[in-house]
Every structure is written in structure tokens, then in C-alpha cells.
Structure 1
Amino acid sequence: MSLPRISFSPRPRACLSAALLVLALTLAACSGRPGAGSLALSTAPAPGAQEHTILIATTRERDDRPGTYFNRERAERIDFARATVSIPPTHKPGQIEWPAKAPGNPETDFTVRSANYIDGKSAFRAALDRELAKRPKGKREVFVFIHGYNTRFPEALFRMAQLTADSRLPHVPVLFTWASGGDVTDYIYDNNSATIARDALEETLRTIAASKAEKINILAHSMGNWALMETARQIRISGKPLPERKIGLFAMAAPDLDVDVFKAQLRRTGKPDRPFILLVSKDDRALKASSLIAGGKQRVGAYDNEKELAELGVTVVDLTQIESLDAAHHGKFAQLAQLAPEFRKMLAGQGRRESGGGSEFGVDSVGDVVGSTAKAAVTLPLKILTAPITIFSGAQ
């Protein structure tokens, strides 16, 4: 008996190859990226430099090579670490001043002052509580950052340090770093790694919620939003939500998510009743390439209908007109870190979406709610859109 001959269209492979080529050309400026040994410790004095201690939760495999700590491989279980990063006095907001050679010059470069592994969840929570105790009551908040696609461990660590330094907020920074391959050709590997990381991210968030943290603020970038939304979905399904009083800001920057998938996830998690921000940019070249890989479906971070997204119950911040510091126009969120205090004031004015009392505000009226804060942001220029919301006097 002869079997029928099956032929496969070369189109999907051609589309994938074309998309990866676009990504490679777009990210060509990322040549000379950090590799093994790039996190060697610096002990040189640097008057005027700022130091930030960052706690780390990761699904990456440990790497015994000096100055490396973690690599691209997936670990079987969650791991933890701590690192102190020095920011040079010459630092410019939104940028990472990479050393030409490790360990770098702390007067002009980002450098690592100390780093060590933390063995186990209990030790991680104890380290977190110690950092929180250094802050006064009322300011014991945690800032969790989840990086995106094509990100190596040193890049994730220094980006966390840059966001912490530029935001000028007293939060304890916690980096959640999943096993990205750190190469433009690793898109499928990265997507699978982000999916694998869901349980570890849930475990991390539950550990933080069980700590002395008063609020948990979360920022995810690019493909990190896939891990974040899937984790939020599985927490909702579990029937064991995180303590509502501890949930603070929830922000998604340049989400590499299919719009239809995002809508389905929100149907399961429900409309947010906490500040929920989407940072989008229609000129995001990396997400255009991602759309090619995904069969032409638009990604949330480059979606051209902000009002439709706003109707889902989120606040949309359109960064299209912001001049990007990177060739892919995919990292604009990092340039906004210095505006974090202003955004917090804006969202405090937004209040919670509840029925009864208060005043109704429609699309494009956030400026009316928060006054000069939003108007100052708009002059950057920024366009802020939001769904109709109810504002309560003095609501947080």
C-alpha cells in the first residue's frame, strides 16, 4: 500500500526567515553585547556614584564562570541571587553606560560592586524583608521587573539598575529573569522559556506578597508580558488570589502579545481595578517583525487602535512620537523611568473603577482628572488614553 505524498508549503518557513532577518537587521546595533565574565566585580572608588541592591529570582541555570552567575539555559527550579550595581555620576536617564571592558570604570560605567547566590525561597524572603526594613513604613514597596525577548542576564540586571536609578522611587527592586537565549534567532526558544517561567513567576509573586512588602508594583517588557499575563491568568484560575491590598501598579511595556490572546486573557482575569498601564508605540520595529512570525497578527504593543485597548479597562500611553534611543524603537519604556513619580500621581488621581458616586470621565480626559501632571507628560509628547472611569475624591 502506497502512502499519499504530502507536500508542505515553504511559505511559513519563508515568513519566519524573513521576520528573523528583519529582527537581525533592526537589532544590528546590539553587536558587542555582554558575554561571560562581563559582571566582574569592581572595587575602585567612585565619588558621586549611586549604588542599588537588586534581588533576583530566575529560571536561568547557574554559571560557574567568574563574573557570569547565570546563563541562557533553563534551570529545573527557581533560583535566587543578590547584586549591588553602581550607577556612574555621569549617567544619562534612559541609557545604560556599558563598560568597554569588565569590570569597567565606576566613574563612567555601570559596574557590579557585589553579587552572590541566595539559596532557597526562605532565604530570599528574609533578604527581601531586610531590604524593606530599611524603608520607613508607608514606603515599603517592591518593584518587580520582567524583561523581554533576546535579553542576556547582564542586560537584564543593568536594565533593572537603570530603571531603579532613573525612577528615583524608594522601592526594593526585584528582577525576575527567565531563560532568554539572548540571541535574535532564539524567538521560539524564548517564547517557550517565558511559558516555562509561569510557575516560577507565580511563586516569586506569592513569596513577595507573604513578605513585609506593603505594595507590589510590576513592570513587564516585550515577551515578558506573555509570562506575566499567563501567570495572572493561572493565579485567577487557582482561586487563591494575591492579597488585594498589596497589589499596586501593573504596567506592560511594548507587549509582544497577540491582541486576540490578550483579550482572551483579560476575559479570564477580569477587568483590572488597579492602575493598569499599556505602553505602546506604532513604530516598534521589533513588534512588526514579531507580527510576521505570528502570521500577520498585530501585537498589543504596536496596535493601531488605542481606544479599543482602552475599552478593555486599561490606560494606554502612546509613545509613538517619542524619539527612541534604540534602532528597534522597542525600548522606549526605559526612557520614561524618570517620569515614574509623575505617573504615580496621575494614577492616584485616576482612582478605582467602581460604581456609585464620583464623576465620570471619558477618553482623552485624564488631563482633566490629574491636572498639570498629565499635561506636563503630554508635552513630551505623550498621548494618554483611558476608558471611562469613576473618580472618587481622595481614592488611591
Structure 2
Amino acid sequence: MTSVETGFFQTAGEISGNTASSQYFYKGRGLLQLTGDGNQPVMYSDYQQKIGTAHDIIGNPDLVAQKIFLAVDSGGWVWNQIKAPSWPARGKKSDETQTEFEAKMRAFEWKRNKFPKGLSKNLNEIALLMKENEEDYFFLICRLLQGYLPTSTDDYPTTLHLDRRKQNLQKIKTWFKYNKNVCDSGGIIPELSGKIPWMDVAWKEYEKYKGLNNNLIPLKDKVETYFDNANYTTGKFTENWCAAFVTWCLTKGTFKYPPPSGLGTIRARAFAPKAIYAIDHYWEEGSQTKNNTPAYGAIALIKWENGGEHVAFVIGKTSTGRIAVLGGNQSVKENGIKIGSGITLSSAKLSEIKCFTYPSSFSDYTKLYNLTSENITDSLTSSDTHQ
């Protein structure tokens, strides 16, 4: 949240800039920018009481940026100290004009409705709410740290730099999420390297088996391997394997992502978040793309009008506006006649796709939504994906 003021944590103190606070004697310092008001220590005084007399941060506030213990400890203290007001309805104060009073009450009502679960909560408690509503509660945290004026509502002042803060948040989330895997892979982070682990696997499988069908070895044997990997223990199975292929790709990349639980690993309808599509199966670790729009690498859940589902990976769009996909269990034909199913490139109507989903632990980014134009003429139908 304070990454902008510190040049993404290049320093432990606010870098001098165009904002008034950056010129303060008690400017922002520490991981969460312990900040006073000009020459008034304010929170520095409160934190001084907390740490006692061992460090004189009132006389030498630079200590908060210079000593690692103070930089970190003050951040934790701020995280629990700052709270969102409850913004209650109240009567007009004697020093308020009617116009000022009405403006504040409108703003208070807006905030109560906008952040209902964050009222009277500290920053740590509000941060936990980001899991269910990251957009609103991350904004609230940023505004509280900067100072949320009484009459402000959905304002985005230029000094808030919200877009940059969002970008930095995604970097931090990614680094913390991949701390062990990144060490094992030489420091390569999928979202920051431009690579999507499961798509690397999908493209390798496509290159290896393109043109082949599941009725013949080696793809026949590989399809059985897909089902073995999905923990399908009923026996040999080589039909309706689109979901087993998706499960294989998710679990065999440099970074592994959990597929739906149980038999969801082999059922297309399971590749949608809870309460989005099917009742009997859903993806516990899946999240819809932004506004459920197509994005590269997202898993497209296709629903056929005559029944049945299919899943495949989004790779782009066609000149006619169809969604280009790479998937398993898609028709392989000779002279226009289906001879089996394989790993192919094809396309589907946007209206046929009920859900676009990423693993919840994957941090998407804008570029993934800028789909490239793919020269794909094949069009999927129900008969292409079902025996």
C-alpha cells in the first residue's frame, strides 16, 4: 500500500515528490508509512508511547526508516492501529453549514453501503475482506492510509496512484505465493515472466500429438495416462477426455495448480467456480476472469444446446469473433469424416461459453485479455466433443 511513496520499497521512507506529505519533518516512514502532520508528530507520538524511550523517534524520526526493527514493527503497529470509521448518521453540528452537513451525510451513507463489512475494522481485518472483494477493500485501505476526507466517496485523486498500487499489489501477491517454487525455478515467476505454466504444457502436448487420434497409439495410451493422472480408477477410459486433458496441463507445469476435487478432474462441468454452473461438481480453487470475459489461458466451459459440456483453453479469437481454443477430445477428421478425437485447435461461439476460469491462485494481468487474432477456421459442435 505504501509502495508508490517508496519507489516500490527501494527506501523505508517517503521519497520527496509533489505531495505536501513528502516534505513533512514527520513524513511517511516504515513499511506502512508512519506519518505525522507537517511538524506535528501525531502518529509518531502514539508509536513513541508504544515503544518507550529506547528510540527517540520524536527528535529523530529518520530512525523509523533507518532501523529495520522500527520500520517493520511500526508497520505492524499501523496495520492494527488505523481503523475505518463507522460513518454513522448523526445530527448537524453547530459549526457546520446545512450544505456541509448534507454533503457529509450523503458521503457517510455511500461509504456505509460501499464498505459494509469494513466499518470500524482495522487495516488487518479489512485486508482479510479483500479475498471476497479485492477492488473495494483494497481501495478503502489505500484511502484510509492516505486520509479519507469526510465528504469523499468514490474519488480517485491523482495522488492516490491507485493503478500503480494495484500493480504493486499483484507483484507482492505473486512473490509471496510462489516463494518456494520461485527459488526452485531460478527466480522465474509465471505472471511476471509472461508465461502461463499450464499453457506451456498444453502447447507441448499439442505439438507432440497434433494430427493423431485417440483410437491409435501413441495418443490412445496418453489419454489413458491423462485419466490415471486424474485419479480415475474405474478402469481404462479413452472417451470424453477433455477435462482429463485440462487436469493434466494444470498439474504438470513448472507450477502446479489444483483441479476440481474428486471426479471433477474428469468432468467438464466441474471447471467453474461454486454456484456458477453445476451443483454436483465445481472448481474449489477456480475464479472467473474479470467480468467473465475471454482471456488467454483461461479455461472455457462450453455448454451445448442439446446437452453436455466441453472444456478447452482460450488462445485467441477468430476473424469472425469466435473464441479460439486449444483442447483435447476434439474431432480429428479425414475427408470431412470424424475418425477419432485428438488435441486440436478450433473455435466456439462466445454465446456457447458459460464461464471463463483461472486458478484462484493465478494473478491475471491486462495483456491476457487482449486476445490475438488466430487463423482458425474449424468450429466446434457437440458431435466434435462427444462420441
Q: Which structure has the larger Rg over C-alpha atoms?
A: 2
Q: Which one has a larger percent strand, Structure 1 or Structure 2? A: 1
Higher relative CO (Cα under 8 Å, sequence separation at least 6) belongs to 1
TM bucket, shorter chain? under 0.3
Give the structure-1-normalised TM-score. Answer: 0.23
